[in-house]
Amino acid sequence: MISKRVVSRAGMAAVGVFALTAWMGAHTKLEKSDPADGATVTKAPTMVQLFFNEKPDLKVSKVELTGPSGKVELGPAHSMADKDIMAAIKGALGNGKYTVTWQAAGSDGHVQKGEFSFTVQKAQ
């Protein structure tokens, strides 16, 4: 027969695993971007916009853009909607692959980081 102590410990462990899973799932997640990850665009974008599953904290949010010639200057990161971060691209982008590196935190305060890429291939 299984003792009450073993059942109690197993139950507490299961609750702990469930709570940890829920807590880890609560972090800010990038849901989509403009330009989209992996996209090839024929017109150079004038901004990058990131959409999250929750409102990002702009105080800790960062967006950087790197291209074939190195780092691309962006305007300050700001929000245009409830769950987004946007940064204007200063100057023109030439053909090539670009990588957006981002950092954001939501209501739990945990900073999440990620990146995505897109390609500019202007029509000749």
Domains of the chain: 28-120 (2.60.40.1220)
Is 104 within 8 Å of 111 (Cβ atoms)? yes
For residue range 76-99, list pLDDT tens digits in order: 999 988 899 999 999 899 999 999
pLDDT the model gives residue 60 = 92
pLDDT the model gives residue 33 = 98
DSSP 69: T
Share of the chain above pLDDT 70, in %: 79
The mean pLDDT of 11-15, rounded to a whole number, is 50
pLDDT the model gives residue 74 = 97
Structure tokens at 42: 């024929």
Distance CA 75, CA 84 (A): 15
pTM, entire model? 0.78
3-state DSSP percent of the chain in helix, strand and coil, to 5: 15, 40, 45
Distance CA 52, CA 87 (A): 15
